[in-house]
Structure 1
């Protein structure tokens, strides 16, 4: 089996990190915040990250490493193989006592997710897989049985703030995006999407699992996800699932005109077309153009000076501007 050694190592490290998280949960810990109340971090995140990074570096010294809780290094950009790690995906749930959090370890080769291990320690669920080789749950190969009605797994935060007002069928909210993707891979859900941006460490392992099960994950604007980018953030929402469910959901989102954000917008992105001709001319080359849009309709615009972290322009519907501002703060840090 390809990547057998890598899968064995990642699985062992995920289990060790999961045990560490449970020990911290029992002992108690303080919660800090990186950019806002939506972005908590704990000593458990940092210790789990250190454990995983040390293990991968020892086993595969030639590979690059990217972890949410480690200082990023441009060295990874020159590596064909890069491990992409979220030591706790669902830190908010971890801190509130919910079981909906996991350890996420993915391997990207040539910019594509090829291997994933996702471990939910509170429920002792281990998902593992390699693209082309299928998916296992707790060591058993899985062949998913799909129901007649599609099950749409959505962010509990987005559901509480916005999605519950819409009539999308089949919605059920949960926390960790990595667990959403893992559960889709084994047939426990069918499709997902987000309105807010996601980072590479949120999705790499789950993407590999979904692809190993015959599914697909991509950007909300239809473009593919490329891992090990200079800026390890997609800067927009994602959509993924089994082929039939994905086609259904894209049609539903188009009909209902549900929005998505796109941060650090550039002229080559499809969302650039939502700007007026005057703004396209005025903002070309500006690195801090952020929008929230639906179809061809601009809902909110925030133009940020990335050096001073000040808003140069803030326009649009108040609700959508507030949601866009939250996305910008989480991605870029607090605005002055």
Structure 2
């Protein structure tokens, strides 16, 4: 007897072929999907590129801040009150700067996390980094330093010292960008649009600013916030003595720059320490933290703890910033203080 076989009708052949193609498609698409996912996970970004982009973004935002002020188009309104009861203003300078800074960074590196002080629905896909590395930066930083994109968090302050901006105290105004990798600040940019000066640093590599030749903590000159100086004055004098000089200033970016050697004459205060005893947002302080780290300085909570620049934007531990002094000795002089209770 001849062996029995399976005979398919033309319709059966077609169905069988379609089933085979479907199985192959799903197997193939699964492989491609897994490979794409792995590729996305392995995506790296170059730190020198991020530094150049951060400078370009800060300068671009600064131009908007300056333009809005010169055109008298602030359109000031209030976002409410701060925890300390001070007015929290918002201007078109804040928004226009945010739109430029946020979009140019997001468009250039869409795979990284970007946090900005302001929030806005305006999307401008035309904004892209020029891919230009400034000559000074190219000369100082020649190494390739890649990090995983998923480890990067960028903090943007489109207009630091908004209150002073509305009062035409323009020397305090800055735009800032900070890049943190695994929560540690590695790139800091503080741009002064009304002085046309940009400070930048890549921690462990190079910076275009310098510490002064000498500092003192016996007693120090301490720079503090204009907006809630009463408690800080008492705190500082309790820590370092009644002969301590206290300088009031606006903007966290400006206060960090006051610790450095910038040769700007009377337009820039000079301080030995920067102390803040209430809550403060990370976009206010991350760039300054990176600049100080690049110079061997420190920015910590009042208890001496490092600040983690991931997740929540709120730093609840206050801060003390220094360069050129024994930071641990400074922290040990500080009286106990709980920012959450004040």
Report if aligned partners of 2:58, 2:189 keep a CA contact under 8 Å in 1. Answer: yes
1:46 aligns with 2:114: no
Match of 2:157 in 1: 86
Report if aligned partners of 2:303, 2:331 keep a CA contact under 8 Å in 1. Answer: no
TM, length-normalised to structure 1: 0.68
Using the alignment, how far apart are the partners of 1:241 and 1:148 within structure 2?
10
Match of 1:234 in 2: 315
Q: Which structure is richer in relative contact order (CA contacts within 8 A, separation 6 or more)?
A: 2
SS at match of 1:244: coil
Structure 2: stretches of 5+ with no match in the other structure: 1-45, 122-148, 263-269
Task: For residues 268-312 of structure 1, give each alpha carbon's deviation from its aligned partner in whole angstroms, at most 9, with x where no partner exists.
Answer: xxxxxxxxxxxxxxxxxxxxxxx2xxxxxxxxxxxxxxxxxxxxx
Return the match for 1:3 from 28, 34, 47: 47
Structure 1: stretches of 5+ with no match in the other structure: 73-77, 263-290, 292-323, 325-336
Report if aligned partners of 2:99, 2:120 keep a CA contact under 8 Å in 1. Answer: no
Return the match for 1:31 from 52, 59, 76: 76
SS at match of 1:34: strand
**How far does residue 221 in structure 1 lie from its aligned partner after superposition?**
2.6
Using the alignment, how far apart are the partners of 1:185 and 1:134 within structure 2?
15
Return the match for 1:20 from 41, 61, 64: 64
**How far does residue 143 in structure 1 lie from its aligned partner after superposition?**
5.0
Match of 2:245 in 1: 170
Return the match for 2:201 from 114, 126, 129: 129
**How far does residue 243 in structure 1 lie from its aligned partner after superposition?**
5.8
Report if aligned partners of 1:154, 1:171 keep a CA contact under 8 Å in 2. Answer: yes
SS at match of 2:325: helix
Match of 2:214 in 1: 146
Report if aligned partners of 2:232, 2:277 keep a CA contact under 8 Å in 1. Answer: no
Using the alignment, how far apart are the partners of 1:246 and 1:71 within structure 2?
39
Report if aligned partners of 2:304, 2:331 keep a CA contact under 8 Å in 1. Answer: no
1:62 aligns with 2:143: no
Using the alignment, how far apart are the partners of 1:247 and 1:168 within structure 2?
21
Using the alignment, how far apart are the partners of 1:228 and 1:50 within structure 2?
22
TM, length-normalised to structure 2: 0.67
- Provide the alpha-carbon RMSD of the alignment: 2.3
Runs of 4+ with >4 A deviation: 185-188
Report if aligned partners of 2:216, 2:325 keep a CA contact under 8 Å in 1. Answer: no
Larger Rg: 2
1:85-104 equivalences under 5 Å are 85-98=156-169, 99-104=171-176
Aligned residues: 249
Report if aligned partners of 1:154, 1:173 keep a CA contact under 8 Å in 2. Answer: yes
